[in-house]
Structure 1
Amino acid sequence: MTTAADTPTLGAAMPSSPWPVFWVASIAAFLVSLDTTMLFAAFDPLRRAFPDATTADLSWVLNAYTVVYATMLIPAGGLADTHGRKRVFMIGVALFLAASAACGLAGSVGWLVAARVLQAIGAALLTPASLSIVLAVFPQSRRAVAVSLWGAVGGLAAAVGPSAGSFVIDQFGWPWAFYINLPLGGLALWRGASLLSESERTGEPRRVDGVGMALLMLAVGAVTLAIVESEVPTWSRLELAIMGATGLAAGGAFVAWARKAKAPLVDLALFQHRTYRYVNVATLAFGTAFSMMFMGLFFYMMNIWHFSLPQAGLAVTPGPLLVMPTAIITGRLATRLGHRPFLLGGSLLYACSSLWVLLVPGTEPQYLTHWLPGLMMSGIAVGLVLPSLSAAAVSRLPVAHYAVGTAVNQATRQIGSALGVAITVALLGHATLQRADFDALYALHMALALLTCLLCLPVDTKPRGPSAAT
């Protein structure tokens, strides 16, 4: 039996074809994912552009974005539900584009970080609204495929970001890593104005939990800062320990606040769903490993094999090309089989790719035989795992909770990304690198992949019968 929560809320009637709406919403989500990883390729160019900035300072060009994005995603999901998905989506796209232009014009690391914060707010507004818009125009029977494809678009963008970024930055300079957002984002803004219909409001406007947001930012920011600065001599071990402890204490306070607040940033009741609970912890582990993989690849290619930036970008390309077709096939099969087989198989394959790059590549460039096999394994693994995590997270939630549930899951992935960047910078951020410096990174990467596999064992999204979709 179809419930009111299952009926589309975007407009009065189902459009003749949902795909034009899908592509408008997905273009914006594509840009957000692209921007998240494209700057992995910009790390060395930014270091040359701002020679007075430390490696730890530059890491905040990435992590200020991810920390704010992760924290803002959660209230943004509620804002989309209560203030109208089209309205929140359009505001998010416009702010993202304006901040992208400001990033490209920034004349110092401080201004660049500030512009990245604004860009993160825009990205956070549009992301959950984008998925809600997609879900609303597809019938229940086709939502699993739509969610998987939406996740695949984001996964592909995140995967091709480093290779696309390396080409754009080498040809036109680091500001174009941001200017490239303007034409596609402008297209999404223009087409969205005419194609999208406003959704019905789903209740009273929710209060924004400022205390919860502050505690979450402090928790993630303090732990990330402690990791990033761990090898910087200006910080003592005691200061770093205090900073890390502060972050952990803020995390505990965040959970305690969420338990008693009337309108908390994160409704802990979401985690009563067993699959949702395990998928989110797995997302944290996989998100950490994902950013470690890409940053580590560029450090290796440019410092051990001495590739140029375009060569390093070209070297990473074959893996991402496998993400989209793998994700599409996975989404179709998951409709019948559930997501667990693909999560388990993909995580194990990701661990194998880590083991390969840990043991096989040496100091002499032998790309086809020493690097490409590991890269192909990682590309297929990302296509299996990344969209499956997004789809599995909301598969058992009521439709009315899709936006907030998706926002929490995406926020978890971004927190993992921030931790992955911090770990990579701490392990590889010094001036001269040797092959042995990468062993700890790849061993930790493999451990996180195996942890993802273990966490996905309890996941259950397999259809339970003809009534499962109602």
Structure 2
Amino acid sequence: MTSSPTRTVNPWIVLAIASAATFMVMLDTQVLFVAFDDIRASFPSVSFTTMSWTLSAYTIALAATLVTAGRMTDRFGRRRTFVTGLVVFTTASLLCGLAPTPGLLVAFRVVQAFGAAALMPSSLALVLSVFPSARVPVAVATWGAAGAFAAGVGPTVGALLVEGFGWRSVFLVNVPVGIVAVALSIRLLPESREAVRERFPDVLGILLLAGSLTLLSLGIVQSEQWGAVSIPTASVVACGLAVLAWFVRRSLAVPHPALDLSLFTRPSFRWANITTAVFTIGFTAMFFALIQFMTTVWHYSVVETGLAMMPAAFIVMVLAPFMGRVAARYGQRRLLVPGGLVYAASGAYLLFSLDTDPAWATDLLPASLLTGIGASLVLPQLTSAAVRELSSDEYGAGAAVNQAIRQFGATFGIALTVALLAGATPSDAVEHFQRVWSLILACGVLASVAALALPRASRPVAPDPAPVPVGTTN
């Protein structure tokens, strides 16, 4: 790994800036679910299908460009990519907040996704580049906790912003935060990039990867409207798989592929990403389904719903850094296996407790506590397990693959939840939601089973890193 000229850098400051950017991106993603109805009300002549692209376009663009952005992070510099992502994301947020038409709002959401795609892998790559390997699980757990906490508080923050200032405020609030983050990043973050600068990655491979992920995301996102087994859905998914197969074949043949597929030959990377996919499906399904359940079955307001979900978010915020220290000492596997089972227990509790009578303290709070504990054990450890066997030159690409898989898992989790809830009526809504709780139970168990395949590891706890001079090897 090469770095900018030697200067003193505090790893914890780097972690704080990277975590703040992650929080901003994840918060923006979650608050828009709450703001969607208010956005639709601003454009009453536009159909629901058209307005849904304010959500879908972002999801598809982000999933399609994450891996490529991660590869560019290692090639062109982590700080440069991070700052560029901040500028793009912040500018696009401003444009979204000022958008006069739905078409422009969708277009600016795509630009916003490009900024987020640059931010996510580069922020983690920056953290990995300044922390010694023994402290990586702690740092990654803290970084991951910021995103998980943003997901938990997103509904409440979004509801308060929308009710107080309208839907445009959920975008405009990013502007001052982004400006401050850019200034701090330029001043305080070190630059680093891959040590061995080879030829530019295969351009056709980059286009094939982005195209395949776009088609697969489109098929999943649109399956609700087209039908899960309809000809349009099957055609788009089949095309996506065909292009993906072409990408794999080309990546194995060219000397400088867009993504080095040998990453998946490393057991930790392979099994951590499989665990990520399974767990993210269940995590997103629970988040999305609980919002729907509380607003449609229990008739909670959006603010009440957000507040009801806060305990799990606070548990993640408090426990995740501690769990990172445990992972640093004993390895991620020892947390991931029981964590999946704890999360499965939350699904089981929801399955046997929730009914039409609102009873937050007895029916939902215990499940929320189990959810928070399970997520604290699992979510922050997934990324550190995935990158554990990677070299410093592969940080950006490895982090991006893990984030892309999370994005696909989240997209698929929402699609499955919508399919399981389809056709629900007031008289049978509880039965439809029980299908989702069963899905969550299954995902937790399967995540634990997948995590069993991770290599055993035990790392001694190293002292907290002091400020280190950039330009040395950590």
- Is 1:373 matched up with 2:343? no
Comparing 329-338 and 222-231, the one that deviates more: 222-231
Correspondence for 2:441: 446
Q: Which residue of 2 aligns with 1:456?
A: 451
Give the RMSD, CA atoms, in angstroms.
Answer: 2.8
Aligned counterpart, 2:91: 98
- The range that moved more, 105-114 or 342-351, is 105-114
Q: Check 1:11–1:446 CA distance in 2 against 1; reply closer, same or farther (3 A cut).
A: farther
1:246 aligns with 2:239: yes
| C-alpha distance in 1 between matches for 2:263 and 2:357 | 50
Q: What is the match of residue 9 of structure 1?
A: 3
TM-score after normalising by structure 2: 0.88
Does the 8 A contact of 1:149 with 1:328 survive in 2? yes
Is 2:159 aligned against 1:129?
no
Answer whether contact 1:59 1:425 (CA < 8 A) is retained: no
Tell me the residue number matched to 1:139: 132
CA contact (8 A) 2:153 2:310 kept: yes
- Partner Cα separation in structure 1 for residue 363 and residue 436 of structure 2: 18
Is the Cα contact below 8 Å between 1:55 and 1:425 reproduced in 2? no
- Whichever residue aligns with residue 377 of structure 2, its letter is L
**How does 1:164-203 map onto structure 2 within 5 Å?**
164-199=157-192, 202-203=195-196
Deviations 1:176-235 (A, max 9, x none): 222221222221111112112333663437635554444444444444444444454799
- Cα offsets for 1:296-346 (capped at 9, x unmatched): 111111111111111111111111110022211110011111011211111
Equivalence map 1:55-454=2 (5 Å): 56-199=49-192, 202-204=195-197, 207=200, 209-232=202-225, 237-428=230-421, 434-454=429-449
Instruction: Kindly state the Cα deviation for residue 97 of structure 1 after the two structures are TM-superposed.
Output: 0.2
Query: What corresponds to 2:470 in structure 1?
Result: none
Closer, same or farther: CA 372–259 of 1 in aligned 2, 3 Å = same
1:390 and 1:236 map into 2 onto residues whose CA distance is 33
1:160 positional shift: 2.4
How far, CA to CA, are the matches of 1:351 and 1:24 in structure 2?
A: 33
Instruction: Say if 2:74 and 2:395, in contact at 8 Å, map to a contact too.
Output: no
Question: Residues 190 and 279 (structure 1 numbering): CA distance in 2 closer, same or farther, change over 3 Å?
Answer: same
Distance 2:456 2:143 in 1: 18
What letter corresponds to residue 324 of structure 2 in structure 1?
Answer: G
| Aligned residues of 2:272 and 2:382 also touching (Cα < 8 A) | yes
Aligned partner of 1:455: which letter?
A
- CA contact under 8 A between 2:85 and 2:115: conserved in structure 1? yes
- Where structure 1 has 5 or more consecutive residues not aligned to the other structure, the ranges are none
Q: Alpha carbons of 1:205 and 1:175: their partners in 2 closer, same or farther (altered >3 Å)?
A: farther
Partner SS state of residue 298, structure 2: coil
Cα deviation code 1:352-383 (max 9, x no counterpart)? 11122222111121111111111111111111
- SS, match of residue 322 in structure 1: helix
Amino acid at match of 2:374: A
Contact 2:282 2:444 in 1 (8 A): yes
The Cα shift of 1:452 comes to 1.3
Residue 408 of structure 1: how far off its partner (Å)? 0.9
Indicate the SS of the match to 1:12.
coil
| 2:22 counterpart of 1:29 | yes
Cα 1:428–1:85 change in 2 (3 A) is: same
Question: Structure 1: how far apart are the matches of 2:190 and 2:226?
Answer: 55
1:150-181 deviation line (CA, Å, top 9, x unaligned): 22222222332233223222322222222221
Instruction: Tell me the residue number matched to 2:34.
Output: 41
Distance 1:162 1:206 in 2: 45
Asked whether the equivalents of residues 3 and 190 of structure 2 are also in contact (C-alpha less than 8 Å), the reply is no
- Retained in 2: the 8 A contact 1:152–1:327? yes
Which deviates further from its counterpart, 193-202 or 83-92? 193-202
CA contact (8 A) 1:227 1:426 kept: no
Look up the SS of the partner of 2:3 in the other structure. coil
Distance 1:222 1:350 in 2: 31
* Greater Cα shift, 442-451 or 92-101: 442-451
Distance 1:432 1:151, change over 3 A: same
3-state secondary structure, aligned to 2:358: coil
Distance apart, 1:127 and its partner CA: 2.0
- Are the aligned partners of 1:56 and 1:425 in contact in 2 as well (CA < 8 Å)? no
Kindly indicate whether the alpha-carbon contact (under 8 Å) linking 1:106 and 1:112 is maintained by their aligned counterparts in 2.
Answer: yes
Structure 2 residues without counterparts, runs of 5 or longer: 463-472
Deviation at 1:95, TM superposition (A): 0.4
Question: Matches of 1:235 and 1:385 in 2, distance apart?
Answer: 30
Q: Tell me: CA distance 1:344–1:365, structure 2 relative to 1, closer, same or farther (3 Å).
A: same
The letter for the 2-side match of 1:266 is: L
Using structure 1 for the length normalisation, give the TM-score: 0.89
Q: Which runs of 4+ in 1 moved over 6 A?
A: 233-236, 464-467
Size of the aligned set, in residue pairs, is: 462
Structure 1 residue 108, shift from structure 2 partner: 3.9
